[in-house]
Amino acid sequence: MALFQSSTKEIPAAASVPRHIAIIMDGNGRWAKKRFLPRVAGHKQGLETVREIVKACSELGVGYLTLFAFSSENWRRPEEEVSFLMGLFLGALQREVEKLDRNGIRLRLIGRRDRFSTEIKEMIEKAEADTAGNTGLTLTIAADYGGRWDVLNATQAMLKARPELANGTFCEDDLAPYLSMHYAPEPDLFIRTGGEARISNFLLWQLAYTELYFTDMFWPDFDRNALNTAIASYRARERRFGRTSEQLQSPAGGNGKC
Ligand code: IPE
Ligand code: IPE
Ligand code: MG
């Protein structure tokens, strides 16, 4: 039995505060350019926004916040920018985790780990272990993450653990425990800052029925008020999960079968 409902199999419980918010933090470079600063200054400022949004979500009672920090494709950026981002990541792991822990926040990392330095890998493991018992907000950082990688990796892991499924007789419930976000409900609300209206290989599987919200605001300018505006937009939507509007008056069951 899966821990959380799949939006394509059952109708997830609705909540006025999203249980899970997933964010593509975009626009750092353009924020800096507008101020005649180097791109990396935007990343540094973006970390300030991360602090504010984590605090706001924690206070609002959001259960899960997932932030896209570095995509599988971001390795293609200039070497100096990649190495600055890695430094910022390591610094944040070294300096921020204790504070997260004090605030009851559980930290998880999703994505490939094998391309990070040993130092970063060790810090990730320590941060996850130190905060594993916390019961407040679960903060997930997607780093060297790609949605396609996630689905492929899960399929490979599932077939390795359960070779009897190699004949193709598997379904969503079989795959779900191997996906990197198996511990969280699917996002209710997706936010992308920075003006682009695309998913950029983020949580492809998990966003199946997520409400999408795009804003032109650059990530370093995003704040608690902007988050509240996004949540208000989410609240005003009718989530139908394939049904008609009329059916929503009398909640029906799922379409459960594999
Ligand atoms: C998002 O900001 C941060 C990362 C992808 C690491 P960008 O660096 O993509 O900023 P823009 O989109 O170039 O403005
Ligand atoms: C998506 O932003 C990845 C992160 C925010 C980490 P990008 O700036 O890399 O996305 P594209 O390249 O504009 O699609
Ligand atoms: Mg960008």
Over residues 137-188, the pLDDT tens digits come to 999 999 999 999 999 999 999 999 999 999 999 999 999 999 999 999 999 9
- For the CA of 70, the closest atom of ligand 2 is 6
pLDDT > 70 in the chain, percent: 96
Pairing of the two strands 211-214 and 189-192: parallel
pLDDT of 136 = 97
Provide DSSP, 189-249. EEEE-SS----TTSSTTTTTTPEEEE-SS-GGG--HHHHHHHHHHHHTS---TTS-TGGGG
The amino acid occupying position 40 is V
Asked if residues 239 and 18 have their Cβ atoms less than 8 Å apart, the reply is no
Of the candidate ranges 63-72, 175-184, 216-225, 243-252, the one whose mean pLDDT is the lowest: 243-252
Q: How much is the average pLDDT of 86-105?
A: 97
Average pLDDT, the chain: 95
- CB-ligand 2 contact for 53 (6 Å cutoff): no
What stretches of 103-223 show up as alpha helix (H) in DSSP?
118-131, 147-161, 172-175
Active site residues: 26, 74
* CA 117 – ligand 3 centroid, Å: 24
Ligand with the closest atom to the CA of 31: 1
- CB-ligand 2 contact for 144 (6 Å cutoff): no
- CB-ligand 2 contact for 25 (6 Å cutoff): yes
Q: Which residues pair with 22 in a beta bridge?
A: 66, 190
Asked if residues 189 and 129 have their Cβ atoms less than 8 Å apart, the reply is no
pLDDT of 224 = 98
Ligand with the closest atom to the CA of 111: 2
- CB-ligand 2 contact for 201 (6 Å cutoff): no
* CA 31 – ligand 1 centroid, Å: 9
CB proximity list for 39: less than 8 A, separation 6 or greater: 28, 29, 32, 33, 81
* CA 216 – ligand 1 centroid, Å: 13
pLDDT of 256 = 54
**Alpha carbon 97 to chain centroid, angstroms:** 18
The phi and psi torsions of 73 (rounded to 5 degrees) equal -85, -10
- For the cut 60, the answer to whether the pLDDT of residue 56 exceeds it is yes
Separation between Cα atoms, residue 220 and residue 21, nearest integer Å = 18
Q: How much is the average pLDDT of 92-113?
A: 97
This prediction has a pTM of 0.95
The radius of gyration of the chain from alpha carbons, rounded to an integer in Å, stands at: 19
Supply 56's token pair: 């706001």
**Interior/surface letters 217-235, b for 16+ CB within 10 angstroms, e for the rest:** bbbbbbeeebbeebbeebe
Q: Among 70, 79, 80, which residue's Cα sits nearest to residue 112?
A: 70
- Residue with the nearest Cα to atom 1 of ligand 2? 200
pLDDT of 1 = 44
- CB-ligand 2 contact for 74 (6 Å cutoff): yes
* CA 26 – ligand 1 centroid, Å: 5
- CB-ligand 2 contact for 141 (6 Å cutoff): no
pLDDT tens digit string along 211-241?
999 999 999 999 999 999 999 999 999 999 9
Q: How much is the average pLDDT of 79-108?
A: 98
